[in-house]
Chains A and B, each alone.
Chain A
Amino acid sequence: MPDLIEAFHTALRLIATLDPGLIEIVVLSLQVSLLAVILASLIGFPLGGALAVYRFPGRGAVTAILNALMGLPPVVAGLAIYLLLSNAGPLGVLQLLYTPTAMIAAQMLLVVPIVGALTRQYCEDLLEEYDEQLRSLGASPREVTATLLWDGRYRLLTAVLAGFGRAIAEVGAVMIVGGNIDHVTRTMTTAIALETSKGNIALALALGLVLLATAFAVNGALMGVRRFALRLAYA
């Protein structure tokens, strides 16, 4: 027990003194997850919007797959990207395995279904309300999609935050394709896993606290966005 208390004190000191080793890991984690979420949103928004508006054969199947992939286990996403990027894989020549780029790709694979499926759901709800009015105004399917995405902007922002919450907290995908290499691909989650098994509880605890604070911040932002949107009747 005294060990634990001491570890806790060390953890707080690491955070309070902005320990360079800690900061490096935190910054890399945020960079990887933020980029992954931004890129995933660029794919997920139009994908979800189009799925809500366009009617084509196989639409139901695509929607079902997208919904199912929301629960894709991070290790499976990591494995898929690993196979793609490994020397024997189709993209092996790029030599991207064990780089932050590979980690971004793996987290994108996790986040695209989340952003895409939530976007589709939001847009479909909105379309129910707007359909006749937009058709009366003569909007083309592309214009309808664009209108829905813009009008759903606050709800889409909550989808992005949900995706970020998922990306920043996952460990399996970045562990497999990143390899937890010190100064290169070590993120908060992989470092916690490693340092805990090494017995370096203080650093693990410090990173855990930062991760927890991130989760709180994301949730706070979610609630803030919702409240703001409700006040404008934009929800």
Chain B
Amino acid sequence: MSEREREVGSLSAPERRRRRGIATMFFLGLGALLAFVIIPKQNETVTFGFVMDKEWVAFHEWSVSSKTGSLGFAIVALLAALLAYLQFRARKTIRLASALFSFTFFMSFLCWAASGKFIPFTGLLQGGLLLSIPLIFGAMAGIISERSGVINIAIEGQLLAGAFASGVLASLTHRNWLGLIIAPLAGVLVSLLLATFAIRFAVDQVILGFVLNVLVIGITGFLYQRLLIPYQSTWNSGSTLNPIRIPILWKIPLLGPILFNQSIIVYLMYALVALITVGLFRSKWGLRMRAVGEHPTAAESVGINVNKVRFRNVLLAGAIAGLGGAYFTIGAVGTFGKQMTAGQGFIALAALIFGRWSPLGAVAAALIFGFANNLQSVLSITGTPIPSEFMLMVPYIATIIAVSGFVGRVRAPAADGVPYKRGESH
């Protein structure tokens, strides 16, 4: 059958998707050539700084003329697209080529946009990592919930609840580490509603998640106006957790200060990502989770209590997102602000879909969003030819391009969003 199909020249769905991805790469690469090289602009030197702190120094900075830099990187980007095309012929994964493409495309843009400016490269990456922390927590929460078959649109609410609870408790007790304990509990509380209504009452999960977000935004906003503003010194004067330097590791050039000079929340995040990546595919817990998310009837037939597994995993997801919420308050600024998560939960959701429900994919997507966002704020300070509003749109447009071009018809866990009732076959 597949032989005949190939003879007729039709491609399978993943092949079509890949072809579309490669076409997008060529298109963007040519666009980069046109936009960044041919469109005339003052040709000054771009300087990248690679030193941030007192880490060991490999090299201090690198200067390149704007035009040479953007032309060079655009050509490499096009070569990467070509490589992807060749790999496609060789029926290999195009991951390497697309990673190379993304990096060089980004550098080409940077050389063009930052003409005559100094770009603190290490700082750019570090800021990007910081911005992607809540996204990674949120996406991990989404993966656990959705892999077990419950759609989690309430990530935003779980993050916000965690941010609120940790900020308030840290302020009331003057012990900001207590925030690390209460934040997951606040997330669990939101999840408890999600799980109860989704599993016990079989409420539509997309709608439910949306409504829970409104509920948390409402409650935290109400309490913020009612208590946190008038009695700020008791209710909203928390402080931030101190960064911890991991001995030796933080001295590694470039990566050290980015990865190993962070607060405990970030280290917890590394551990979490590792645990979930391994646990999801290599443990009983992960196997059961995937079983109830893909084929609950089969899971039930081997004696797994489907709804119990789902319930527990949704609560766990809430705890993870809640902990991520703590990053907004005690991890970053100390005090709580109204709606301070500002839609990050939805971006986390996009990262999760972008990453196709796989932990590492979601982390990669979250990092891309974080970097794009940080690039925008760095460039808005140094000044760019592009209005800052358009820079701010980039992560969102990238998501749309990704879900419609690169990712195409995504396949969620088969029973994601479908309530399970014993004795009803699906």
Q: A and B bound? A: no
